[in-house]
Structure 1
Amino acid sequence: MADEDENKQKKHTIESLFHLYANNNINTLDLENETYETILLSQIDFWLDQAKLLKTVFTMTDTGMAYMKFKKWRLDFEEFLDFLNMICQGKEIKIDDVKKALLEAGPPGGGTEIVVVK
């Protein structure tokens, strides 16, 4: 029975989706077969847009200003969570609601694929 639980496919988590979006829409000048553990602002905006949060709850100015505070090109997962907290400040939306919307947005392009989360 334990083997069945170990092999059971699970739904995405914020972290598993983070890695999918971090590796989505990669510039062709980047090295092929490179896997990124960090995410760009454009990829975050794409994810927020797919979650229907960009231009409704957050503006590109909101995301850009918060992103610039990190003074780096790419954010790791922990910094991404800090970024989400920053953009929620002063808005009438809770971080948990943003995370839920990001989860519901699914993988880039809106696919419904299931991934094994370890």
Structure 2
Amino acid sequence: MVDAQLKEQFALFAKFGESKNDGSTITLKNADKWFKQAGVIAKKITTTDTGIAFNKFKGKTMNFDTFLKYLDELSSKMAVEEIKEKLVDCGAPGTQGATKAVKSGGVDRLTDASQYTGAHRERFDAEGRGRGREGRDDIHENSGYVGNYKGKDTYDKTH
């Protein structure tokens, strides 16, 4: 029962962030993400321990059967059944604890485009969104006339 659920979780975490992976093999990076989300990587087991154990299997990825042997390799630090329970109970892969934008007075003040002056003010519209190239560069017309010429396009074609 636990192994069937573990295999489902294995496939989900193997695919997480890997667009070309079909879920049959997992990398060390994704295994560590899974262990961190499940709470396996803590004081008893570290990413150094997982890296050393992973490299004993001589490959960049491992299938589910090799993964079970990998868990046995980690059993010197924590019981295998305890590891499997935590891995099954952690839920689907997600980005809990991902970096969020800081909202403090200093950052808000520095990123408020309405307070910009001089040439920097031209880089943003009234809502504070950037204008892109239009705000950075002077766009020149290649019409053949000087900038303030008033009689543009008045030349008679019959001359």
- Using the size of structure 1 for normalisation, the TM-score is 0.72
Q: Is the 8 A contact 2:74 2:80 kept in 1?
A: no
Aligned length: 93
Report deviation, 1:35.
Answer: 1.4
- 3-state DSSP class of the match of 1:53? coil
Q: 2:70 aligns with which of 83, 89, 93?
A: 83
Specify the alignment match of 1:103 in structure 2. 88
Name 2:101's counterpart in structure 1: none
Residues 54-97 of structure 1: CA distance to partner in whole angstroms, max 9, x if unpaired?
133211110000000111111000000000110112x2x21011
RMSD: 2.0
- For structure 1, which runs of at least 5 residues remain unmatched after alignment? 1-11, 111-118
Q: Contact conserved, 2:7 with 2:64, CA < 8 A, in 1? A: yes
Alignment counterpart, residue 72 of structure 1, candidates 59, 75, 78 = 59
Q: 5+ unaligned residues in a row in structure 2: which ranges? A: 96-159
- Which residue identity lines up with residue 14 of structure 2 in the other structure? A
What's the TM-score, normalizing by structure 2? 0.54
Amino acid in structure 1 at the alignment position of 2:17: N
Partner of 2:109: none
Kindly indicate whether the alpha-carbon contact (under 8 Å) linking 2:14 and 2:24 is maintained by their aligned counterparts in 1.
yes
Q: Distance in 2 between matches of 1:41 and 1:21?
A: 11
In structure 2, C-alpha distance between the alignment counterparts of 1:56 and 1:78, rounded to whole Å: 26
Percent of aligned pairs sharing the same letter: 32
Which string of whole-angstrom CA distances, capped at 9 and with x for unpartnered residues, describes residues 7-32 of structure 1? xxxxx700000000000011xxx64x
| Distance in 1, Cα, partners of 2:12 & 2:44 | 23
Relative contact order higher in (CA < 8 Å, ≥ 6 apart): 1
Moved over 3 A (4+): none
